[in-house]
Amino acid sequence: MALTGVQIFKLLPKTNCKKCGFPTCLAFAMKLAQRQASLDACPDVSEEAKATLGEASAPPVRPVTLGTGEKAVKMGEETVLFRHEKKFVNPPAIALEIKDTDSDDVVEAKLQDVIGSEINRVGQLLRIDAVYLSNDSGDAGRFGALAEKVAQKAPETAVIVGTENPDAADAAIKPFSGKNAILHGATEANAERMAEIAKSAKAVLGVKADGLDALSSLTEKVKSLGVEDMVIDPGAKSAREILEYNTFIRRAAIKKNFKPLGYPVINFAQRDDALFESLVAGLGIAKYASIVVVSSAEKWKNLALFTLRQNIYTDPQVPMQVEQKIYKIGDPTPDSPLLITTNFSLTYFIVSGEVENSKVPAHLAIMDCEGLSVLTAWAAGKFTGSKIANFIKESGIENEINHRELIIPGYVAILSGAIEDKLEGWKVTVGPREANALPAFLRSAQAA
């Protein structure tokens, strides 16, 4: 249970030496109670205090890692229920289900889907993070063979081994020993043996039960068996159950510091229809899952889910902006067109994407407007004729291009006169209002 600031204070050295960066031990204790400081900051704290405080000051959702190496997925460590309060920390893993009843061709194709799923979107590499192996056959030998094949063909992919049969678990977890696989999982009936298998393979243990009461007692039991790293599965099937269980788990962990549910959550989103499955998976992504299992990995579906995950897990407090400068798109020459827009990162990504799309090389002037979009920046007086003129003059672009024509966004057509007044010898051309009209605009300008 959480300790109060005063309870924590009693365990500190009480010397007020300030080495922790706070003026007094009490001030430090208060911050610890709010989880805004880490106990490590005090060099003089006793071992005894560490042990007592360790439990209380541990993050409300235990950090657990799936897989190893560059593609390892960190899970847990979340601190809020709503993303506007604070950044959601660790984006959920998306795991593709492979069944041991799938034919060799299907297994092969799914592994290729996973390996080839990586996409670069606005500077981040996104991919299907893991495979979820299902022991649908119920046969240990067959499940072990599937695991061998996966380990061999996709050695870098993180693996979740899904079976309630300890013999099958033992056979299938072996190839992933020491690779931070997840063994999913432990139930009330098999917890002892599963805990042993997970420990010997250094695997994370997935713990599943029907409902949250049974789940909390089971995680306590598993913990007493010596397993610390768990992911939890409340047995949610419908979208409604996913929302209900995930919400209660997150609230219990964060608001009540309820340790038995302070673990990353795994959700199963498989549906017969791929489109519908993307909506259920999307619910898991938006509402607190750490792993979402899907049954297929179509490229269009991956792109939608990766993008949603990226959107939900961006930092709401950092204004999204890019650096002010003249970007080169394609391989522009001194005769290539010059466009200008604001430094709101979304504006930049959309405009640069469309310019790229047009296949017309261009100079793209991105002006610092504190991360505001064109219309908002204009309304706020940050994207004005004189400011644009100054920026163009100071950018040095005049030495790099032969022409003196500046293309401005259609929404601020009204600025053309003001810019021409301030930028002697320049001609302002009004571009389209929406970026998606840029390719046609640039191509016809080039043809002219």
Q: Which residues bind ligand SF4 (CB under 6 A)?
A: 12-13, 15-20, 22, 25, 28, 42, 44
Least separation in angstroms between CB 10 and ligand SF4: 12
- Choose the one of ligand SF4, other proteins, none that binds residue 25, judging by a C-beta under 5 to 8 angstroms depending on kind: ligand SF4
For ligand SF4, give the closer residue by CB, 28 or 426. Answer: 28
Please state whether 425 falls in left (phi above 0), alpha (psi between -120 and 50) or beta.
Answer: left
Least separation in angstroms between CB 20 and ligand SF4: 3
Select from 43, 47, 48, 84 the one that contacts other proteins (CB under 8 A): 84
Q: Alpha helices, DSSP H only, in 43-165?
A: 47-57, 104-115, 140-153
Determine if 109 is a binding residue for other proteins (CB under 8 A).
Answer: no
Q: How far is 442 from 448, CA to CA, in rounded Å?
A: 10
DSSP single-letter state for residue 220 = H
Decide: 132 and 98 in contact? Cβ < 8 Å.
yes
Determine if 240 is a binding residue for other proteins (CB under 8 A).
Answer: yes
Select from 8, 212, 289, 364 the one that contacts other proteins (CB under 8 A): 212
Select from 57, 90, 295, 302 the one that contacts other proteins (CB under 8 A): 302
User: Which helix or strand (DSSP H or E) is residue 339 part of?
Assistant: strand 338-342
Determine if 300 is a binding residue for other proteins (CB under 8 A).
Answer: yes
Q: How far is 344 from 432, CA to CA, in rounded Å?
A: 18
Least separation in angstroms between CB 33 and ligand SF4: 13
Decide: 203 and 130 in contact? Cβ < 8 Å.
no
Determine if 279 is a binding residue for other proteins (CB under 8 A).
Answer: yes
Select from 10, 18, 19, 255 the one that contacts other proteins (CB under 8 A): 255
Determine if 244 is a binding residue for other proteins (CB under 8 A).
Answer: yes
Report the SS3 class of residue 35. Answer: coil
Residues of span 365-384 touching other proteins by CB under 8 A: 376
For other proteins, give the closer residue by CB, 40 or 118. Answer: 118
Helix, strand, coil percentages (3-state) for the chain, rounded to 5, are 45, 15, 40
Q: Can you name the residues that pair with 344 across neighbouring β-strands?
A: 321
Decide: 60 and 254 in contact? Cβ < 8 Å.
yes
Decide: 307 and 375 in contact? Cβ < 8 Å.
no
Select from 58, 72, 225, 274 the one that contacts other proteins (CB under 8 A): 274
Please state whether the peptide bond connecting residue 185 to the residue before it is cis, i.e. omega within 30 degrees of 0: yes
Dihedral over Cα of 97, 99, 103, 108: its sign? positive
Q: How far is 11 from 227, CA to CA, in rounded Å?
A: 28
- Choose the one of ligand SF4, other proteins, none that binds residue 27, judging by a C-beta under 5 to 8 angstroms depending on kind: none
Least separation in angstroms between CB 28 and ligand SF4: 4
Residues of span 312-341 touching other proteins by CB under 8 A: 312, 314, 316
- Choose the one of ligand SF4, other proteins, none that binds residue 260, judging by a C-beta under 5 to 8 angstroms depending on kind: other proteins
Determine if 301 is a binding residue for other proteins (CB under 8 A).
Answer: yes
For other proteins, give the closer residue by CB, 286 or 418. Answer: 286
Least separation in angstroms between CB 20 and other proteins: 32
Decide: 282 and 308 in contact? Cβ < 8 Å.
yes
Closest of 333, 342, 326, 324 to residue 361, by C-alpha: 333
Decide: 197 and 184 in contact? Cβ < 8 Å.
no
Residues of span 134-163 touching other proteins by CB under 8 A: none
Residue ranges in contact with other proteins by CB under 8 A: 82-84, 119, 121, 212-213, 215-217, 220, 238-240, 243-244, 247-248, 251-252, 255-256, 258, 260-261, 273-276, 278-280, 282-283, 286-287, 298-305, 307-308, 310-312, 314, 316, 346, 350, 353-354, 357, 376, 434, 436
